[in-house]
Amino acid sequence: MILSISKRGAAACGLLLVLLALGGCKPITRPSSGLLPTPTLLPITAAENPPAPPSLGAAFPDSALAVAPAVAQPPTPSPTPTLPRPTATPEVISGPLTVGVASAVPEEWTAPLLAIFNATSQLQTPGGAYDLTVLDQPDNASAQVLLLPASAATHPLATYVAAAVAPFATVPDDVAAAELQQRWRDPVGAGRLFVTADAARFLENIWGLKAAGVATVSASEMAARLEETPNSLGIVGFDQLNPRLKALTVDGVNVLSNQLRLAGYPLAVSLSVEGTGSSLLAALLQDAVQPASNRDPTRLTQLIMTGVTAMSRVTALRMDQKGYDYPALVISDVFAAADITHISNEVPFLDDCIANPTENNLILCSDTNYWAALAAMGTDIVGLSGNHVNDFGREGARRSLQWYRDNAIPIYGSGMNVDEACAPLLWEDHGNRFAFIAALAFDPPGAWASADEPGACYYYDNKERILELVRQLAGQVDIVAVELQHQETYEPYPIPLQIAEFRELREAGADIVTGVMSHVPQAQEPYGPQDPGGSGMITYGLGNLFFDQMWSWETRTELAARHTIYAGQLINTELLTMVLEDFAQPHWATPEERADILNRVFAAAPDR
């Protein structure tokens, strides 16, 4: 069985009932919209007599990918369109209109503009008809189509968005636009700068000609040039980002954000109509340039993935004392703003669970009231590959699974039997199609699902099934994300078996491979389009999220991975850093704490 749902939405209750054969429906999480149809999977033959998935229907008809109208949204505004439509207010003009296209406008934009101008001798408007003349010398025209900073564009027709980048293993997060301009003009004195050819031709319109020492490199070689040149920075087009590059914020503005307002971003250049009659001309040209941007917010998804969550022991005690949403109070706004918020939950939800803060208690559960913390985080999907999912026996596991189903909470990694446990969860957001898979590669055997008993998908009994599933899904969805509950260690360095098995999943076609067992942050391994297998990310371990391990600095430090997917490709991964306080509540790391966490995980990266 393959579970299929997507995020923002809506009539989700009835749809989930049909898909998952649920009982009652009492949603307590953000509803979802637009179900992603399940793909047809070929029979699995790689393993000796593995259980094959059933026939799953047609593969992604275009009509089924439309997103239903959103209803409940995160507590942050939805992104505005990149290019606002021109105002409908009629402009009063005396005399004929003349227009020109600036010489700096790229040919691919100039050609469609001139085609429209040459086919239009007169503009018919509610305020009257106006003769239109195109001039070869645009500076002499009453209106002009030219390139401007996005913040200065009156009537934007198209926008090019660039990104400032450094090697992925870089601690600083921000660069000032003024520093980039200094490097642009004086790379010897201010520091080396690499730039792609298309970024250079747009930025020259707002910064002037670049200095001879600013090297023009291709997007595919940018990461290598930055990595071999200390203290260097780069500039690429937004759509040329990849996980080996760290996208820096510029003057504090994050180009990856799903809330980005381009008017406030220093590296955005707009094609704009300026001058007399500009509003009329903008209306004429509003669909002339397509695509209108190399950063279309309707194709962008931010996915946040988290580590160990076990709201038990002292964490549970604090929630009983201070409120069920206590763990989420400091960090929830950032997590809720993601398009897809993932939680890896280790323990069953039971309505009769009682907090047991006894030291070293390893029989763990969460009261169903504790879902309030995950609801505050904007949780959309829950991975259940933890080795504590059956801590209250098979009957406790059944009750917990049924509770998720009764409340329309999408889950994967555990199920009422092994086929359910190993099934992927399919998801769609902003036109990007996802498959999420989770498995347990650790003891105890009592946590493993069987043919007729609930539990987690045990990786080693189902390895060939999962690898073949990854191979097939890689050809049917955009992003395959696999998480493994692997052997637990308390070091940032992944063990050799972990490295080999995570890389094996990547080689099978997984775009994102995540370790959800480590109680401390572990190494990261980004891949770019020039690497074998193409762009992707291995996160060997994220550490804890909500868990009471206050006994060492390492166990108190936490990561969350915020992945940006654009037009079906993973283009960047940001590492969010937190520190656990009061056995229950993470706080954002200070700059010094963040530097310590990042330096540890970067230093632990295995040899490639």
Q: Could you please report the per-residue DSSP string of 262-323? A: GGG-TTEEEEEEEETTHHHHHHHHTTTSSSSBS--GGGEEEEEE--EE---HHHHHHHHHH-
| pLDDT exceeds cutoff 80 at 60 | no
CA distance 501 to 289: 46
| pLDDT exceeds cutoff 80 at 417 | yes
User: What's the pLDDT tens digit per position in 427-462?
Assistant: 999 999 999 999 999 999 999 999 999 999 999 999
pLDDT at 38: 45
CA distance 175 to 426: 37
| pLDDT exceeds cutoff 50 at 13 | no
CB 83 within 8 A of CB 292: yes
Long-range contacts of 360-364 (CB under 8 A, 24+ apart): 361/312, 361/313, 362/388, 362/391, 363/391, 363/392, 364/310, 364/312, 364/313, 364/388, 364/391
Task: Identify which of 414, 411, 316, 305 has the alpha carbon closest to the alpha carbon of residue 364.
Answer: 316
pLDDT at 96: 81
When pLDDT is cut at 50, 70 and 90, the band that residue 80 belongs to is: very low
pLDDT at 62: 30
CA distance 435 to 425: 6
580 vs 35, higher pLDDT: 580
What does the angle CA 225 – CA 226 – CA 229 come to, to the nearest 5 degrees? 85
User: What's the pLDDT tens digit per position in 549-581?
Assistant: 999 999 999 999 999 999 999 999 999 999 999
The one-character DSSP state at 13 is H
72 vs 477, higher pLDDT: 477
When pLDDT is cut at 50, 70 and 90, the band that residue 79 belongs to is: very low
What percentage of the chain has pLDDT greater than the value 70? 85
Using N-to-C axis directions, what is the helix angle for 278-285 and 107-118, rounded to 10°? 100
CA distance 523 to 542: 9
When pLDDT is cut at 50, 70 and 90, the band that residue 68 belongs to is: very low
What average pLDDT score do residues 284-305 get? Answer: 94
118 vs 586, higher pLDDT: 586
| pLDDT exceeds cutoff 90 at 173 | yes
| pLDDT exceeds cutoff 60 at 332 | yes
pLDDT at 460: 97
CB 168 within 8 A of CB 526: yes
> Coil, helix or strand for 158?
strand
CA distance 466 to 443: 18
Element at 560 (helix H, strand E): strand 557-566
CB 573 within 8 A of CB 562: yes
CB 513 within 8 A of CB 502: yes
Residue 554: exposure state from Cβ atoms within 10 A (0-12, 13-18, ≥19)? middle
When pLDDT is cut at 50, 70 and 90, the band that residue 130 belongs to is: confident
Indicate the average pLDDT of the chain. Answer: 87
Beta bridge partners of 268: 161
User: What's the pLDDT tens digit per position in 181-214?
Assistant: 999 999 998 899 999 999 999 999 999 999 999 9
pLDDT at 123: 84
pLDDT at 89: 55
Neighbours of 287 (CB within 10 A): 10
Task: Identify which of 8, 150, 165 has the alpha carbon closest to the alpha carbon of residue 82.
Answer: 150
Structure tokens at 20: 């998952």
CA distance 241 to 236: 7
328, 567, 577, 582, 597 from 590: Cα distances, Å: 18, 33, 9, 17, 10
Task: Identify which of 329, 341, 335 has the alpha carbon closest to the alpha carbon of residue 379.
Answer: 341
Q: How many helices (H) and strands (E) does the chain have?
A: 16, 32
When pLDDT is cut at 50, 70 and 90, the band that residue 471 belongs to is: very high
pLDDT at 83: 45
pLDDT at 92: 65
- Please provide residue 332's backbone torsions phi and psi, each rounded to the nearest 5 degrees: -65, -30
Task: Identify which of 231, 186, 236 has the alpha carbon closest to the alpha carbon of residue 208.
Answer: 186
Q: If you write DSSP's letter for every residue of 22-36 in order, what string do you get?
A: -S-----S--B-SPP
Burial state string for 155-177 with b = 16 or more CB within 10 A and e = fewer than 16: bbbbbbbbbbbbbbbbeebebee
> Coil, helix or strand for 540?
coil
Specify the amino acid at residue 44: I
The one-character DSSP state at 589 is P
Task: Identify which of 301, 267, 297 has the alpha carbon closest to the alpha carbon of residue 569.
Answer: 301
Task: Identify which of 431, 448, 528, 524 has the alpha carbon closest to the alpha carbon of residue 485.
Answer: 448
Radius of gyration of the chain (CA): 26
> Coil, helix or strand for 534?
coil
CB 563 within 8 A of CB 436: no
pLDDT at 91: 63
Neighbours of 243 (CB within 10 A): 27
pLDDT at 365: 98
pLDDT at 82: 42
pTM: 0.87
pLDDT at 285: 94
| pLDDT exceeds cutoff 80 at 2 | no
Provide the H-helix boundaries in 137-264: 177-185, 187-190, 197-207, 219-227
pLDDT at 88: 46
